[in-house]
Amino acid sequence: MDLKVLTQTVQGQAVRNLREAITSGIFQPGDRLVEAEMCARLGISRPSLREALRSLEAERLIVMVPNKGPHIPILSLEEAKAIYEVRALLEGEAAALFAGKATVAALEAMKRALAGFDAATKQEDLQAQLETTRQFYEQILSGCGNRIIEEMLSTLTARITFLRSKSMSQPGRAHKSSREMRAIFKAVSVGDAAAAREAAVEHVRMACRAATEKFLADQVRKKDWLSRSKTKSSNG
Amino acid sequence: MDLKVLTQTVQGQAVRNLREAITSGIFQPGDRLVEAEMCARLGISRPSLREALRSLEAERLIVMVPNKGPHIPILSLEEAKAIYEVRALLEGEAAALFAGKATVAALEAMKRALAGFDAATKQEDLQAQLETTRQFYEQILSGCGNRIIEEMLSTLTARITFLRSKSMSQPGRAHKSSREMRAIFKAVSVGDAAAAREAAVEHVRMACRAATEKFLADQVRKKDWLSRSKTKSSNG
DNA sequence: CACAGTCTGATTGCCTGACAAGAATATCAA
DNA sequence: TTGATATTCTTGTCAGGCAATCAGACTGTG
């Protein structure tokens, strides 16, 4: 049992709340975060807020341009791909390491997460899909024996969470995702490190492809919208 | 030509200076950084300092324990090994990617860095060794086409810089290091991605081993010193 | 002499208030 | 419509202050 007393600092809570707000898409890429407004919303002072912002800046969840303040970065396709590449590398390694040392309890937890994911898919509950996926990976990452991989991946995935939710909602993606995760599960449960790595890399590759397609589709729609509104305004 | 105007914020300068101070070993693992003292040294106010500290905390260069303030973290051997493992993975990937797209200019720069390294070794100039090593890797990382790898590695290497300088000073390590880097150079210059990855991974593995040996030796020496001083004090 | 409890100075976490400088926006002349 | 100017917003930074907490000295007790 964990008896640790958790001292919650105002700054720490602010970081958590803001991180949650950013990754869950409450703030959109490009949005400015006006300090005074954030202070009011969070109920904290400006110095504390700014400390929180610096933490988030270091996590690359926001960018702070001098004299222009904090805003949500706009992820380029190139950068997103680079992130997926590194994710593939790290998750592949984690899966391979985990394959050699998976405990029964961890495998059980993964099985439950998979079942939960399929249930969420049936109910079209996007939030639950992301949560069960997280639970699935949590076992791999905490069980792979390398804390640094876990650390790196948690910041990387945070940066693309909003992409993930978008790509997961694409038709057919959830079922494919389920199959890919089951492939990972199968490999680690029989202790096949090479296959586990391969499956994990494949899963990220497919997610990357889905996100890329979604990204490009959104871009086309945006351009379309811009040209239409332009015509409209020049007419009006 | 880069015409960008660099607006130096007080906070940004503080982060740079502190980072430099930490990685160069001015502060030792376990040291406390008293805020008032740091403010005085840096000539800045406490809020600005605290912002800087939060940035460094997110980079894991310091840890901030509530009500106890910022310290330099004490790296465990296990954690150091985990960092080296991830480094091997990322640098291997970077080298493999770079092998396919190395420019002549980049290869020239690497050759110069290698020559500089050997010169530094001859003069037993540890600082120059680290700097030329950095220059060598800079080409690989900036030329590999994946900015995220560069980003991740820069924070990872910062966390173990003090280990690197220690391990580099071990007898014979510099010459081996030079040979290993030349192997990387050779592979990338002929465009052999697999060999480049292999060589890069091997280089990190050897560095890890050197660091581990140094770490254990230091630990023994420390224990020795402790027991001696204990005897001393009980005698006096 | 060892040890538990108490006290005090040092330090942190956080807040208010303030002000100059830079950016964004509105206003107005050409 | 364009260009210049003024005004308003925001940010970067500082000073000062207060309550909560911690570490180490101090003290009384067995």
CATH number for domain B77-222, candidates 1.20.120.530, 1.20.1640.10, 3.30.70.20, 3.40.640.10: 1.20.120.530
Which protein residue's Cα is closest to nucleotide D9 at C1'?
A: A34
Q: Inform me whether the pLDDT recorded for B2 exceeds 60.
A: no
Question: Which nucleotide, over all strands, has the C1' atom closest to the CA of B67?
Answer: C12
pLDDT score of A3: 60
Q: How confident is the model at residue A228 (pLDDT cuts 50, 70, 90)?
A: low
Chain A nearest CA to B1, separation (Å): 22
pLDDT score of A168: 87
Please say whether the beta carbons of B137 and B91 come within 8 A. Answer: yes
pLDDT tens across A23-74, in order? 999 999 999 999 999 999 999 999 999 999 999 999 999 999 999 999 999 9
pLDDT score of A4: 63
Q: What's A43's DSSP letter? A: T
Residue A7: list chain B partners with CB under 8 A.
66-67
Q: Inform me whether the pLDDT recorded for B110 exceeds 90.
A: yes
The C1' atom of D3 and the CA atom of A54 lie apart, in whole Å, by 39
Which protein residue's Cα is closest to nucleotide C12 at C1'?
A: B67
pLDDT score of A2: 58
Residue bearing the bigger pLDDT, A218 or B139: B139
Q: What's A205's DSSP letter? A: H
Which among A204, A210, A168 has a CA at the least distance from the CA of A95? A204
Q: Does B90 touch chain A (CB under 8 A)?
A: yes
Q: Does A59 touch chain B (CB under 8 A)?
A: yes
The C1' atom of D15 and the CA atom of B43 lie apart, in whole Å, by 14
Task: Quote the Cα angle for A30-B1-B149, to 5°.
Answer: 55
pLDDT tens across B76-87, in order? 999 999 999 999
β-sheet bridge partners, residue B64: B70
d(CA A85, CA A207): 11
Residue A50: list chain B partners with CB under 8 A.
47, 51
pLDDT tens across B18-36, in order? 999 999 999 999 999 999 9
pLDDT score of B219: 80
Nearest residue on chain B to A49, judged by CA atoms? B51
pLDDT tens across B47-65, in order? 999 999 999 999 999 999 9
Q: Does B85 touch chain A (CB under 8 A)?
A: yes
Q: How confident is the model at residue A235 (pLDDT cuts 50, 70, 90)?
A: very low
Please say whether the beta carbons of A183 and A199 come within 8 A. Answer: yes
Average pLDDT across chain B, whole number: 91
Which two three-digit tokens encode residue B42? 């840096």
% of chain A at pLDDT higher than 70 = 91
Decide if A66 and B147 are in contact by the 8 Å CB cutoff. Answer: no
Nearest residue on chain A to B153, judged by CA atoms? A152
Q: Inform me whether the pLDDT recorded for A143 exceeds 70.
A: yes
Which among B139, B194, B137 has a CA at the least distance from the CA of B164? B137
CATH class of domain segment(s) B10-71? mainly alpha
Where in chain B are the domains?
Answer: 10-71, 77-222
d(CA B127, CA B125): 6
The predicted model scores a pTM of 0.91
For B182-197, what is the mean pLDDT? 98
pLDDT score of B114: 97
d(CA A95, CA A115): 20
pLDDT tens across B84-106, in order? 999 999 999 999 999 989 999 99
Residue A93: list chain B partners with CB under 8 A.
89
Q: How confident is the model at residue A226 (pLDDT cuts 50, 70, 90)?
A: low
Q: Does A79 touch chain B (CB under 8 A)?
A: yes
Q: Is the CB of B68 under 7 A from strand D?
A: yes
Decide if A89 and B90 are in contact by the 8 Å CB cutoff. Answer: yes
pLDDT tens across A156-211, in order? 999 999 888 888 888 899 999 999 999 999 999 999 999 999 999 999 999 999 99
The C1' atom of C5 and the CA atom of A3 lie apart, in whole Å, by 25
Top residue of A54, A75, A85 to mutate, by most chain B CBs within 10 Å, is: A54
d(CA A200, CA A187): 10
Q: Inform me whether the pLDDT recorded for B233 exceeds 50.
A: no
pLDDT score of A178: 96
d(CA A109, CA A194): 22
Decide if A89 and B85 are in contact by the 8 Å CB cutoff. Answer: no
For B220-227, what is the mean pLDDT? 67
- What phi-psi label fits residue B64: left (phi over 0), alpha (psi between -120 and 50 degrees) or beta? beta
Q: How confident is the model at residue B225 (pLDDT cuts 50, 70, 90)?
A: low
pLDDT score of A232: 43
pLDDT tens across B121-161, in order? 999 999 999 999 999 999 999 999 999 999 999 999 999 99
The dihedral built from the CA positions of residue A32, A34, A39 and A41, taken in this order, carries a sign that is negative
Q: Inform me whether the pLDDT recorded for A236 exceeds 50.
A: no
pLDDT score of B226: 57
Q: Which amino acid is at B36?
A: A
Exposure on the CB side of residue B165, measured as CA atoms within 13 A: 15
Decide if A79 and B7 are in contact by the 8 Å CB cutoff. Answer: no
Q: Inform me whether the pLDDT recorded for A6 exceeds 80.
A: no
pLDDT score of A218: 83
d(CA B88, CA B173): 18
Nearest to A83 among B9, B58, B148 (CB): B148
d(CA A58, CA B57): 9
pLDDT score of B162: 86
B124 φ, ψ (degrees, to nearest 5): 55, 40
Nearest residue on chain B to A5, judged by CA atoms? B66
d(CA B120, CA B111): 14
For A111-116, what is the mean pLDDT? 97
* Stretch among B8-12, B20-24, B221-225 having the lowest mean pLDDT: B221-225
For A97-115, what is the mean pLDDT? 96
